[in-house]
């Protein structure tokens, strides 16, 4: 419930497309200045800092932009049709939860009884999810039977479906097709079973799920009865836990091995026909989200584009929900564009560095330079000596950057020739100095890479 797209966006279910687009841009602008946006429809006991992140706002926006996904979000949110409804909702968001729910219950006797029943039910479910904040209201497990009873009444009421469709179409430019509604009607009981299963697992309160599964004869825990499947799931959970604890820069090989192991276990579950069970869906999405985060970190922090692309492809292959798949695909597109740009930059750099260049003339970014040094690019300096009868002088050339694909010989040859031509006329030091300079140059010159990089990176 606390991840409902309307709740995240601070909107009522009658919000049109124009308001949705406006709110989406507005919220992202707030986040840019490190402010959590607040709205009149916000519920007092919800911690919006946790759910109004850039990622979740974008996901909520895309969800409400899709008619089928919006249908599910609307079913699990308040639909306010009159002043009485609005009054109950205002009390609820201020924290007067008992008064609001009791008033919705009283409205059950009116002609729009199913509509008020649904709003009261949404309020009950939000309380159940956040029950720790309402200990004074008693044991919420006692309300499980009442919640399931209300759901059963709603899902089997043709009148409610007609009302729901009417209200939904009233606030949407494109009318709801009968086929979409029929599919929604067919899928909703199982969808609720899975949502209840996740909620009860999180809260360690199994009674609501038990009541629902017994009433609707739907079981979201079919994996628990399969020994082979549970073995694979335990292995996946253990490997995922280990992957999260490792450091990408130090343990990359172990992380890749762990990801491969998880992929193999997922394939086993797919073979068993249990890949779409609720627990497996959640595991797949958790795994995909973790691998996606590692892919982004690999690229941004470690400049490892190859493994980053491999990781994001793995996340796309494993992810169950379309939301996570679409985010991974967007990341892949961005990653491929960045890699293409980098290849172009590297090509330009290679052309620009087709010859060793003096340090003062070097015109590339520190990031590119760091990458070239990692590929064995070097900063070198070479010796030469000049003699004038009784005096011999040793000197150093400028510092040159030698790219990985070039040899320093082209730079070393000139000071070596100077030494041979001009270094022999001084006595008595010219033989010592000349040989020292020639041998130094022949063996690669003086390597200043570490010192230069430390200075540039400081």
- Tens of pLDDT, residue by residue over 410-449, are 889 989 888 888 877 666 667 788 888 889 888 889 999 9
- Average pLDDT, stretch 249-253? 84
Q: What is the pLDDT of residues 127-140, one digit of tens each?
A: 877 776 666 555 55
pLDDT band (50, 70, 90) for residue 347: low
Percent of the chain with pLDDT over 90: 3
Across 328-348, average pLDDT: 80
- Residue 381 confidence (pLDDT): 93
Closest CA to 307 of 344, 347, 260, 270: 260
* Average pLDDT score over the chain: 80
Q: Closest by alpha carbon to 167, among 107, 81, 40, 266?
A: 81
**How confident is residue 165, by pLDDT bands cut at 50, 70 and 90?**
confident
- Identify the burial level of 98 via C-beta atoms within 10 angstroms of its C-beta, where 0-12 means exposed, 13-18 middle and 19 or more buried: middle
Question: What is the per-residue pLDDT for 182?
Answer: 78
| pLDDT score recorded for residue 380 | 92
Q: Which residues pair with 383 in a beta bridge?
A: 396
Residue 228 has pLDDT above 90, yes or no: no
Other residues' Cβ atoms within 10 Å of the Cβ of residue 200: 21
pLDDT average, residue stretch 205-222: 62
Tokens of 321: 């929900």
Range(s) for CATH 1.20.58 in the chain? 223-345
Q: How many CB atoms lie within 10 A of CB 280?
A: 22
Task: Report yes or no on whether pTM surpasses 0.85.
Answer: no
pLDDT at residue 244, rounded to an integer: 84
| Average pLDDT over every residue of 41-53 | 86
Letter string b/e over residues 299-318, b meaning 16 or more CB atoms within 10 A of that residue's CB: beeeebbebbbbbbebbbeb
| CA separation for the pair 43, 9 (Å, rounded) | 12
> Could you give the C-alpha distances from 274 to 23, 127, 264, 270, 290, in angstroms and in order?
39, 32, 14, 6, 22
Q: Report d(CA 347, CA 356) in Å as an integer.
A: 16
382: pLDDT strictly greater than 90: yes
| Token pair belonging to 338 | 């960045």
Segment 6-36, tens digit of pLDDT: 899 888 888 888 888 999 999 999 888 888 8
Residues 6+ apart with CB under 8 A from 197: 209, 220, 221, 278, 279
Burial of 116 per CB tally in 10 Å (0-12, 13-18, 19+): buried
CATH class of 223-345: mainly alpha
Task: Give the tens place of pLDDT for each residue, 171-183.
Answer: 777 777 777 777 7
Give all strands of the β-sheet with 446-447 in edge-to-edge order: 357-358, 400-402, 378-381, 446-447
pLDDT at 372 over 80: yes
Query: Which of 99-108, 142-151, 191-200: highest mean pLDDT?
Result: 99-108
| Mean pLDDT, residues 159-166 taken together | 81
Whole-number Å distance between alpha carbons of 133 and 44: 11
Gyration radius of the chain over CA positions = 34
Q: Which residue has the tokens 């009318």?
A: 175
C-alpha–C-alpha distance, residues 322 and 318, integer Å: 11
Q: Is the pLDDT of residue 219 over 70?
A: no
């Amino acid at each position: 419930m606390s991840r409902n797209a309307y709740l995240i966006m601070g909107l009522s279910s009658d919000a049109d497309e124009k308001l949705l687009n406006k709110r989406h841009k507005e919220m992202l602008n707030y986040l840019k200045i490190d402010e959590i946006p607040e709205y009149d429809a916000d519920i007092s006991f919800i911690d919006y800092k946790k759910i109004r992140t850039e990622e979740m706002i974008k996901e909520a926006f895309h969800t409400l932009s899709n008619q089928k996904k919006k249908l599910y979000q609307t079913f699990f949110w308040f639909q306010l049709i009159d002043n009485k409804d609005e009054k109950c909702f205002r009390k609820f968001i201020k924290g007067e939860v008992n008064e609001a729910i009791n008033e919705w219950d009283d409205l059950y006797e009116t002609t729009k009884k199913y509509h008020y029943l649904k709003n009261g039910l949404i309020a009950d479910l939000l309380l159940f999810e956040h029950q720790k904040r309402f200990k004074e209201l008693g044991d919420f497990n006692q309300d499980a039977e009442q919640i399931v009873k209300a759901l059963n009444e709603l899902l089997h009421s043709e009148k409610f479906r007609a009302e729901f469709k009417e209200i939904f179409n009233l606030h949407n430019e494109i009318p709801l097709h009968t086929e979409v509604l029929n599919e929604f009607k067919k899928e909703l009981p199982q969808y609720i079973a899975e949502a209840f299963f996740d909620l009860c697992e999180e809260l360690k309160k199994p009674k609501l799920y038990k009541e629902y599964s017994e009433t609707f004869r739907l079981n979201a825990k079919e994996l628990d009865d399969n020994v082979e499947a549970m073995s694979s799931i335990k292995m996946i959970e253990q490997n995922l836990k280990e992957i999260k604890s490792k450091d990408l820069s130090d343990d990359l090989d172990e992380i890749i091995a762990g990801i491969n192991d998880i992929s193999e276990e997922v394939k086993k579950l797919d073979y068993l026909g249990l890949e779409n069970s609720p627990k497996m869906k959640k595991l797949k999405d958790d795994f995909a989200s973790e691998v996606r985060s590692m892919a982004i970190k690999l690229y941004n922090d470690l400049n490892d584009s190859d493994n980053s692309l491999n990781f994001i492809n793995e996340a796309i292959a494993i992810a169950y929900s379309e939301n996570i798949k679409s985010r991974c695909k967007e990341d892949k597109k961005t990653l491929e564009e960045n890699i293409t740009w980098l290849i172009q930059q590297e090509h330009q750099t290679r052309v620009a560095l087709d010859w060793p260049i003096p340090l003062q003339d070097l015109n590339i970014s520190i990031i590119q330079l760091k990458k070239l040094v990692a590929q064995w690019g070097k900063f070198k300096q070479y010796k030469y000596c000049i003699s004038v009868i009784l005096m011999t002088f040793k000197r150093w050339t400028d510092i040159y950057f030698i790219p990985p694909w070039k040899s320093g010989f082209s730079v070393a040859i000139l000071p070596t020739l100077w030494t041979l031509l001009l270094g022999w006329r001084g006595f008595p030091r010219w033989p010592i100095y000349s040989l020292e300079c020639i041998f130094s140059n022949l063996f690669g010159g003086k390597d200043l890479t570490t010192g230069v990089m430390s200075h540039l990176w400081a």
